[in-house]
Structures are given as C-alpha cells and as structure tokens.
Structure 1
Amino acid sequence: MGSGHIRRWESGAYAHAVSDPFGQGPVPWLRGSENYFDDTGQVVPWYVEHAPAPGASGPRIPPPRAGGGPRTADDVDQQIKGYASAGAVAPGESIDFHITVNPPQQFFVDVYRIGHYGGDGASKITTSPRLSGIVQPPPLTADRTVSCHHWWLSWRLQVPSLWSIGAYVAVLTTADGRYRSHVPFTVRDGHPADLLLVLPDVTWQAYNLYPEDGRTGASLYHAWDESGKLLGEEDAAVTLSFDRPYAGAGLPLHVGHAYDFVRWAERYGYDLAYADTRDLHSGRIDPTRYRGLVFPGHDEYWSVPMRNTVELARDHGTSLVFLSANTMYWKVELSPSASGVPDRMLICRKRRGPGRPALWREVERPEQQLLGIQYAGRVPEPHPMVVRNASHWLWEATGAHEGDELPGLVAGEADRYFPRTRLPEHDSRILLAHSPYRDHEGAKRHQETSLYRAPSGALVFASGTFAWSPALDRPGHVDERIQRATANLLDRICKRD
C-alpha cells in the first residue's frame, strides 16, 4: 500500500480508538513545524527547533525544507522509524538506537530535553553526526507479538556525565529533510531530590500498535485480521515487546500528560529526579529516598513489584501524587527478551485463557486500597470539576469556592470513591471534588478527587481525571486554580515555606 493512500489509522490515532481529548498522542509540547494527525485527520503542529539567535526573543522556527519540510514518517512505508535499547539510562552510560530508513539514505538524530525553557517546551542538547541508514528487516511476529530485536545497531549515544537528568526525545530526520520520527527515553541518576517523577513507560507500551500498517501491528487493545479489519481486545496481543518503535510519530499515546507536568514543574523550580515504571519494577531506584513520587500521566498497567515498592514507600513516609485516572487498573508481568535483556517483554492476559485474573480489583487488591479512589469509567465529553471542601489547604489561594465548576477538568476517564471497597489505612481522608457527568449511555455518574494521610505521615493524592496534568501547562487547557492547588500539594510534600 503506497503512502499516497494514507488511511486514518495510519495517523496513529484511529486504531487506538481513543475518544478522550487528551489521548491523541503527541500534543503541542513544542510549537512549530512538525505535523501530527489527530483523530479527525486534521494536522496538529507541535514541533520547534530551540535555537534562538543571539538577542532574539522566542524560539527560532526552522525554515521549511525542500518539499514543504519534514513530515511524520508512517508505519506503512517506514521512511524513518526507530527504538531505543533502554527506557532509562544514567549519565556516563550509553543507549543504543535501532533505526530503519526507507529508501536507504543518511540521517541524523537531534536529541532534545523536555522542560520549560522559556515556554519553548524543550531544548536541543546535541546532534549526531550524519549516519548511514538502511532498510532493516521486517518485524518478526509470533502470536501477535511484534519485535524488531533483530534490527542492526544504528547509533550508540554515550550520555555525557554532565547531562541533566530528565525526559528526552531523540528526533530522527532523513538527510533529504523529508521525514521525521521520534524516540523517547529518560536520563536518570541516583542523586537525592525532593520528588521522583515516574514516567509510565509500561502503559505507553500497552497502547503501542506498531506497526500501524493494517496488517502486522498489535497492542493490548487491537490487532488486524488478514483482510485489514481492526480487531478488539479479545483478539489483541497478550505479550508485547519493547524492542520496536512507537506507532505513528514515534511518541507514545498519552505522552503529553507527562510532558505537561515536566514543563510546569521545571518552570517553578521543583527539585525533580526522573525514572520510568520499569525502574520501579526492577528495584533500580529506592523510592523511600524521596519526599514524594509523582505519577504525571496515564499509568494503567502495574506489575506486582511496582505496586509493592510504591506501597512500601508510602509506609515509609514517601508521599504519592497521581495526576491522572484509571491508575493501576491492569496487573501485568515483565519478562526478559529472547536474548535475556530484563524487562523487555510486557505480558497481560486480560480476561482471556487460563491463568489468574488480570484486574487488580479481581485479585483482592483493588486500586482504592492504595489510591483512595479507583476507576469508574470513560467520560465521553469534558465536564466541569465541581470543587468540594473548598476550605481545605489544597484549595487555599486558588480562588475556588465550594461548588465552583472548573470547566473541562473532568475528561477522558474518571475515578471515584467506591463505598463497598476497603480504604487504605489513614489518619485523615477528604474528597476535594465531586463532579457529575454522563457516560456513553447517558447515565449519571460522578468523578471524585481524593487526598488521605497514611499512618506514616505520607500524603496520597489522586486527581481522578485525565485533565489535571494538561491544566498545568497545555495551551488551551491551563487552569490557574489547578496550578495553584498542585503547588500547594507539592510545596507541602517538599516542605517548602
């Protein structure tokens, strides 16, 4: 199938079947010339090269290249696509990139760090030399599992010891300037910090349908049959490989949630360390060293070691901040790749075949016992968040009053308190929003935002909505009351005056 007949699913949005306004893959965390198709087929610009001229104000938008500038590579022709050998890497270590280029030609890699950077959203840290690109072999498939572990090494990045920890994106561009793709990764270290930001790479992979070619790709949600018909969960993959690119633009679905928080938190100088969820799983980090753990994005898939580690941290006095909804819903396992590299395979049987149930609430460990609330359902249209207990310190100086409606703050998916489900042990507990909405059938539902103090003194906050992180720093979604409420929470956790 030629690229002249791009169907909607090739944009990276259709096959995910996501109806929420914050789930359309990469969103404008950067501004400028990059194109990304949203779920309506409209082009969303979101990329800028951060290289202001001396004395100039604002970012320099690169001039269009021949042919109108780079456009996003697709998963059919795979003009340029790649993946990294690890999700997170420490300064002084190396990370390998495996990249396919079609037709074969030279390419280069610009590495950006996500941050505020005067509003630009990211800063270019380094550029690779010109590299030789080849057409890598087709992905290997077995029982819906797609892997590119057999791709040749294209570039090894030795991360300098002076690099700042943080969320990074490698931007791959063909030498002719026509196509571009992305590879996210994290730079972490073991130095102490107030807050540990945990990037949800396990959930990112669960949604990854690469390659979105109408034939081969599979996620935990979708696959295709021989005729190109998109199949649902009952026919989707059970095991996924991290050894493959992300579909579409090369950035995960919901990645914008994390970047929204990163930009805002770095703007206001919070002392952040970075890790991904596989670091939690493997024990590479000790979360009890931090005042708080922040889970900024959609974080739906958790392994037993992840949950045990986080509960242990809470019981040692480390606060927990969950800024999304539908957190810790599915129970998963991580296993080594065929070559023995740890945590390169994600396994979740959902409700199919023999074995134990895959929902945490079905194995007598419902999410509410950690979060204080748990997943209630999808929110088909954004609704207002209705403030409750406005005299609480979280709402202090926000200007929010009892019963105030914060427009659009209940969106995507919602959590609430389930009265028949056991709560975690707590010294105090409060609900800070109670927001009615209607589900897909028109039935009345409600969302809630929760905060409790564990016996250890740890605070555990759960926003109960997808829209909280975008309200911090996403153009068109910023809400100053949410910004201040988040600052009130983090300042208390960090013991700021």
Structure 2
Amino acid sequence: MGSEQIRRWESGALAHAVTDPFGQGPVPWLRGDETYFDGTGQVVPWYVDGSPQPAPAGARTDGARIPAPRTAGGPRAADDVRRQIKGFTSAGAVAPGEAIDFHITVDPPQEFGVDVYRIGHYGGDGAAKITTSPRLSGIVQPPPLTADRTVSCHHWWLSWRLQIPSFWSVGAYVAVLTTADGYRSHVPFTVRHDHPADLLLLLPDVTWQAYNLYPEDGRTGASLYHAWDEEGGLLGESDAATTVSFDRPYAGAGLPLHVGHAYDFIRFAERYGYDLAYADARDLHSGRVDPTRYRGLVFPGHDEYWSANMRRTVERARDHGTSLVFLSANTMYWQVELGPSPSGAPDRLLTCRKRRGPGRPVLWREVDRPEQQVVGIQYAGRVPDPHPLIVRNADHWLWEATGAHEGDEIQGLVAGEADRYFPRTPLPEHDDRILLAHSPYADTEGALRHQETSLYRAPSGALVFASGTFAWSPSLDRPGHVDPRVQRATANLLDHICKRD
C-alpha cells in the first residue's frame, strides 16, 4: 500500500471511530466533542448517526483532508494501518474479584503500559486514574482473520491479565494503552456487581460493535454498515458484514462511536448522587442481570440493536414495575442474534442480516413487534441539522422547576436522529400517557417532519420515558451542550423513579 493511501486513514478516524479524546488533555478527553469522517472524508458533528446512506456509486475518499494525529502535548493516536498499539478485552463486563484479559498488538515490538481510568464526575474532571500496569512487553500479533467480511482477532495471544480488586467501584472504565515511543489507544470495559441499587445503567455494547469498522485500513475492516472495496473506497450496507466479532479492537482511537453519550449521563448522575449499578447489553441478553431488582433501567446512549432476549427481559422488567429511561433515539430498531466465538466463548459474534442473505426481516417493526410497543414512540428519521425541541404539556411534573413554558424552544436539542409517535402503530398497555415535546424539523430531503418526547405509565406502575433525540444525554454534562432545563427535567424523572422527595 502506498504512502498516499495510508495517509487517508492515518488519523484513525476515517469512518466511524471517534477522534482521540485524550488529545484534548490528560483527563478531560471525554468531555470534548466527538467527530468522525464519512465516506467523503468530511468531518461529521457529534450528533450525526454513524449510519449514513450508502455513498453514491463511484464516490471516492481520495484526496480527503484528514488531519494528522495530534502530537502537541502528549502521545499520538494509534491507527489501524500501522497498528502501533491496539487491543481488546476477552469480556465486556467483569465483577470485582474477577480477572479481565487484554489482547494487545504492538508494532514495532516494544514495552508499553496501561493506565486504567474510571468515568465519573470527579469534580468536573470527567474521569480518575485508578491503576497503572507494570511495564509490559509488546509483540506484533497475527493479522486479523476474515471470513465473509467478518473480522476476528480471537487468535491473539494474552498480553495482560488485570485482576479487579474487591474494593473497586462499579462503573465504566477505559484502559489507555501507551507505547514507549508515545502512541496511544483505548479499550473500554465495565465493572459490575450484584449489589442492590436504584438504577441499572445499560451500556450499549451491542450497538457499539455494530458500528465498529476495525481495522480501518482501507482493505479488511467491516461493520454492519460498511466494508472496503479493492481500491480502498467505502462500500455501503448491501456489501457490509452480516456478522461482526467482539474479539477485535474498536477502530481508530479505540473508543466506540457515540460512547460519550453514555459518559455524559454517568458524569451527570454521579454529580447528583444517584445510586447506579452497571451492566452492558450482552448482560441483558444472557440473563446475567435481573433487572427487576432495580427501580429503573437507564439506556443512556444510542441503543439501536436488540436481541430477542434483551427485549423480552426489558418487557418483563417493565411489567414487574421497573421503570425504563431511553435517553437517545432510534432505540430497539434492528433485531440481532448473538453467538459464540470459534473458541466457544458465548456472545462474541453479533449477526444482523439486514438486506443480505436468507431469513426473516430483522426490523422489529417488520415482524409485527414495533419498538413503539415498548418505548412509547419509535424511530422517524435523521435530523440533518440541529433544531429546537418545542416543550409541550409544560404543566407536567417532568417540566416542574425547569422554567420551561408551553411552546418554549430548547435550542439544538433535536439532533442526529428523532423518534415520534406513530398513530397507526399499537401503543403499549398504559394507565396514562403524555407527549412532552412536539418539535418540527426538516429531514434530509427537506420535507417537514416532527420529533416527540414521550412518557407513559404501565399497568405495573412503571414509568417509561423516551427522549426521542440524540441530543438529550450530551445536554446533561457536555460543555457547549449543557442545558439546565434538560438537567432538571431528567432529575425530576429519576427522582420519581427512585421515589425521592
């Protein structure tokens, strides 16, 4: 591969990876805007979904203006072409007292270290360093294996085993991998336990993996959205993978697309003292967690891909009296299956047939189980530019003490993607139901559409809230996006669920 071709991906952020957040400073990396690059090489704002329509025939990325890795003030971001340092874990979530295995490739071979951060408020820092590994010997791992667009690194050797001390707090963690010559990438993981808590936070790792284009090298990487043609151009969904593996790093900087939406909520919730437990979507799928033990389940970020087990478990929790909080949009859209890796490890392969191959349709609404029957609203479309959220039913307790009045506009809060109520689609059983926003916007074709925010009370007494927009979580604790009205409305909701006075 020529140097000019490599240059197109050397930033590690061409398609769906976030830019290196650590490039913005030693810890506040998770507080900055996320950007990534579409098939034309253009920078796309944080609020845009990573599932654009397939690029027009013949569209090229040649000559795209891709910024070089940041070098000022610290390490440089590793990329998927040279693979200076990249890694993944053998499990997404682990409990105190258990071990988590890291599989890491380092090129050229040299020593490296791992700093482990926990995401939280921490006086506004956004994260705190919890531990540092000893100096480790890095090796060049074998190239990823590929089969029918599925990319897997399950054959990589074990690089480091982290024993999680019993005193570690549950939470979302990021391992920061740094080589001796100053290249860096990231590996997210979750620490969970079975202790009671008011709220269970579900990290959307299934959706994260669906968008993962690793390796972002112009040759072999593939996600459920894209793959590469022989000349290094991005192909669309019809040529993308139908199965992707968790046994591989995340593309680019090593953090999933839209991971910051979950971190925005975590910082907000910890700042105001909410009692959180943590799990990931695969825990929900496997039955590893019992959601009926919590007052509420919080889905903080883009959570588009759901297995039948995930949906069944959440419906059972709602019908038991556990409230549901959906803080993004386009939730529960695609139906997926999870299967074992070649070595037999459970839930390491994610399959979503989409538009290829035999089998039934995989949109939930196409199998007569529309997501509105759980969420209360459902996906309506993309929002090309941010629009204001228009407050509706301002006398409802959700808007209490927010200062919001009927018809008020909350600027920029309808962004990325939007949900709304579909009148011809059945609603879930409910004792009462209300729409708390009704916000017009123009779609990608310029047609007038609208977004809605929904709340209903199930017969069990469970509350089910859906924001109907990508921009709700960033408005809780992301500089440049914070809105006190949304913060207070979210606190009102969580206080009702947690039975706080």
TM-score by length of 1: 0.91
CA offsets per residue over residues 430-450 of structure 1, 9 Å max, x none? 000000000111000000000
Which residue number corresponds to residue 199 of structure 2? 195
Q: Which moved more, 1:206-215 or 1:7-16?
A: 7-16
What SS class does the counterpart of residue 327 from structure 1 fall into? coil
RMSD: 2.0
Partners of 1:289 and 1:439 in 2: CA distance: 41
Match of 1:289 among 286, 293, 313: 293
Partners of 1:315 and 1:242 in 2: CA distance: 31
Unmatched 5+ stretches in structure 2: 46-69
CA offsets per residue over residues 92-151 of structure 1, 9 Å max, x none? 000000000010000000000000001000000000000000000000000000000000
Q: Which moved more, 1:347-356 or 1:397-406?
A: 347-356
Correspondence 1:212-231 to 2 at 5 A: 212-231=216-235
Match of 2:493 among 462, 466, 489: 489
- Per the TM alignment, residue 193 of structure 1 is displaced from its structure 2 partner at its CA by 0.1
- Is the Cα contact below 8 Å between 1:96 and 1:154 reproduced in 2? yes
- Per the TM alignment, residue 43 of structure 1 is displaced from its structure 2 partner at its CA by 13
- Per the TM alignment, residue 25 of structure 1 is displaced from its structure 2 partner at its CA by 2.7
- Is the Cα contact below 8 Å between 1:91 and 1:188 reproduced in 2? yes
- Is the Cα contact below 8 Å between 1:412 and 1:466 reproduced in 2? yes
- Per the TM alignment, residue 299 of structure 1 is displaced from its structure 2 partner at its CA by 0.2
CA offsets per residue over residues 401-448 of structure 1, 9 Å max, x none? 000000000000000000000000000000000000001110000000
- CA, structure 1 residues 281+483, in 2 after alignment: closer, same or farther (shift >3 Å)? same
Residue 18 (structure 2) pairs with residue 25 (structure 1): yes
Match of 1:83 among 46, 63, 88: 88
Correspondence 1:88-99 to 2 at 5 A: 88-99=93-104
Opposite residue 400 of structure 2, the aligned amino acid is: E
Residue 274 (structure 2) pairs with residue 270 (structure 1): yes
- Per the TM alignment, residue 352 of structure 1 is displaced from its structure 2 partner at its CA by 1.7
- CA, structure 1 residues 420+278, in 2 after alignment: closer, same or farther (shift >3 Å)? same
Match of 2:116 among 105, 111, 115: 111
- Is the Cα contact below 8 Å between 1:73 and 1:179 reproduced in 2? yes
Match of 1:410 among 404, 408, 414: 414
Correspondence 1:64-463 to 2 at 5 A: 69-176=74-181, 178-463=182-467
| Residue correspondences, number | 469
- Is the Cα contact below 8 Å between 1:99 and 1:133 reproduced in 2? yes
Opposite residue 15 of structure 1, the aligned amino acid is: A
- Is the Cα contact below 8 Å between 1:396 and 1:485 reproduced in 2? yes
- Is the Cα contact below 8 Å between 1:30 and 1:122 reproduced in 2? no
What SS class does the counterpart of residue 486 from structure 1 fall into? helix
Which residue number corresponds to residue 57 of structure 1? none
Which residue number corresponds to residue 52 of structure 1? none
- Is the Cα contact below 8 Å between 1:139 and 1:146 reproduced in 2? yes
- Is the Cα contact below 8 Å between 1:10 and 1:212 reproduced in 2? no
- CA, structure 1 residues 269+2, in 2 after alignment: closer, same or farther (shift >3 Å)? farther
Opposite residue 133 of structure 1, the aligned amino acid is: G
CA offsets per residue over residues 368-392 of structure 1, 9 Å max, x none? 0000000000000000000000000
Partners of 1:416 and 1:160 in 2: CA distance: 45
Partners of 2:97 and 2:439 in 1: CA distance: 48
Correspondence 1:35-50 to 2 at 5 A: 38-39=36-37
- Is the Cα contact below 8 Å between 2:23 and 2:74 reproduced in 1? no
- Is the Cα contact below 8 Å between 1:167 and 1:184 reproduced in 2? yes
Partners of 1:360 and 1:68 in 2: CA distance: 47
- Per the TM alignment, residue 204 of structure 1 is displaced from its structure 2 partner at its CA by 0.1
Opposite residue 92 of structure 1, the aligned amino acid is: G
- CA, structure 1 residues 419+11, in 2 after alignment: closer, same or farther (shift >3 Å)? farther
Partners of 1:31 and 1:264 in 2: CA distance: 20
Which residue number corresponds to residue 49 of structure 2? none
Partners of 2:96 and 2:19 in 1: CA distance: 26
Partners of 2:101 and 2:20 in 1: CA distance: 26
- Is the Cα contact below 8 Å between 2:96 and 2:164 reproduced in 1? yes
- CA, structure 1 residues 81+370, in 2 after alignment: closer, same or farther (shift >3 Å)? same
- CA, structure 1 residues 336+112, in 2 after alignment: closer, same or farther (shift >3 Å)? same
- CA, structure 1 residues 43+343, in 2 after alignment: closer, same or farther (shift >3 Å)? closer
What SS class does the counterpart of residue 263 from structure 2 fall into? helix
Opposite residue 133 of structure 2, the aligned amino acid is: S
- CA, structure 1 residues 28+385, in 2 after alignment: closer, same or farther (shift >3 Å)? farther
- Is the Cα contact below 8 Å between 1:330 and 1:359 reproduced in 2? yes
- Per the TM alignment, residue 480 of structure 1 is displaced from its structure 2 partner at its CA by 0.3
Partners of 1:158 and 1:198 in 2: CA distance: 23
Partners of 2:76 and 2:3 in 1: CA distance: 12
- Per the TM alignment, residue 190 of structure 1 is displaced from its structure 2 partner at its CA by 0.3
Opposite residue 186 of structure 1, the aligned amino acid is: T
What SS class does the counterpart of residue 15 from structure 1 fall into? coil
- Is the Cα contact below 8 Å between 2:12 and 2:78 reproduced in 1? no
Partners of 2:426 and 2:111 in 1: CA distance: 58
- Per the TM alignment, residue 27 of structure 1 is displaced from its structure 2 partner at its CA by 8.1
Percent of counterpart pairs with the same letter? Answer: 83
- Per the TM alignment, residue 225 of structure 1 is displaced from its structure 2 partner at its CA by 1.5
- Per the TM alignment, residue 71 of structure 1 is displaced from its structure 2 partner at its CA by 1.0
